[in-house]
Amino acid sequence: MATDRELLAARIYLRAVLPVMKVVLNEDPSLKKKFANVTAKVQFVAKDPAGDVGACLCFDKGEFKVEQGVDSSPDITFSFRTVERMLAMLSGKPAIPMIKGFWKIGLLIKVLSLLMSLKILMPDARPMDPEKKRLKVKLTFYMITTALSQYNKGGDPEMVKWTKMQPERIYQITVDDDIAAYLRVKAGKSKAGRGVYKRRRPFVHMKFNGVDGAFPIVMNDIGMVDAVKKGFLTIEGSPEYGGNIGDFMVRIQDLIT
């Protein structure tokens, strides 16, 4: 049976990592072309005595979404004997799933190429091309804000305690006019979003000095304290709560890598 830690990691992969595929599909011309006329469902599922764990990638002629749970009639299914094995594959480690529908070879190749595109999120992926660097920064902040919310909803005790004691607050991350994301918390509840939250002033606002300021932090080349000193990052609002957010980000990274 999967451990609580494995289930929490699976929750983050299925609800925070896989959904950023939509950004890749929109911004990578090659992948966008490959999936332009694809209508299909691709299921990821891990067997577990307490109930199967999974999510379904839904493609519809250029549109994309991730549906949680197990679909009754997917075109292709990546099936894993355990949650641990599914996590291994999603984190880039050796793990071979059982593939149902593998005879749909054209679709399978396209899906595998899309999965490979997420390797840009790996800690050791260091793109040199400016557009790829920008994509990594965007995917990382979109993913991590959603992951923070799922970390809370998934029941991490410290995150739950932290969110419960707060009134409505916005934790905003801004890189430039195009790359921004936020976490909204209120009395134990949390919700992530993209863009700039405009209904309330941020309680903590992490302002990066463009992609070049954000990239060294995303790559863990520099800590937040030194990033502030070097002018890569400006933090407006509560330094204590800003530090809390940073700590939770590190814990999530440790959980899924």
pLDDT for 62 equals 92
Neighbours of 246 (CB within 10 A): 17
C-alpha to C-alpha distance for 188 and 46, rounded to whole angstroms: 29
CB within 8 Å of 235: residues ≥ 6 apart: 204, 205, 206, 207, 224, 228, 242
Q: What's the confidence (pLDDT) of residue 94?
A: 83
Beta strands in 61-198 (DSSP E): 63-68, 76-80, 98-100, 169-174, 180-186, 189-194
Number of helices and strands (H, E) in the chain? 10, 10
Is residue 224 pLDDT above 90, yes or no?
no
Q: What is the pLDDT of residues 7-41, one digit of tens each?
A: 999 999 999 999 999 999 999 999 999 999 999 99
The CATH number fitting domain 4-121, selected from 2.60.120.620, 3.30.1050.10, 3.60.150.10, 3.40.50.720: 3.30.1050.10
In the predicted model, is pLDDT for residue 92 greater than 90? no
Beta bridge partners of 60: 39, 63
- For the chain, the straight-line distance linking the first and the last C-alpha, in angstroms and rounded, comes to 21
pLDDT digits (tens, 9 = 90+) for 121-179: 999 999 999 999 999 999 999 999 999 999 999 999 999 999 999 999 999 999 999 99
Enumerate the CATH 3.30.1050.10 domain ranges in the chain, comma separated: 4-121, 130-256
Whether the per-residue pLDDT at 95 is higher than 90: the answer is: no
Residues in the chain: 257
pLDDT tens per residue across span 114-127: 999 999 999 999 99
Q: Which CATH number fits the domain 130-256, given the four candidates 3.90.1150.10, 3.90.180.10, 3.30.1050.10, 3.40.50.11540?
A: 3.30.1050.10
Q: How far apart are CA 119 and CA 115, in angstroms?
A: 8
Q: Beta strands 189-194 and 180-186: pairing type?
A: antiparallel
Instruction: Look at residue 151 in the predicted model and tell me its pLDDT.
Output: 98
| Eight-class DSSP state of 191 | E
Q: Mean pLDDT across the stretch 48-55?
A: 96
Q: What percent of the chain has pLDDT over 70?
A: 100
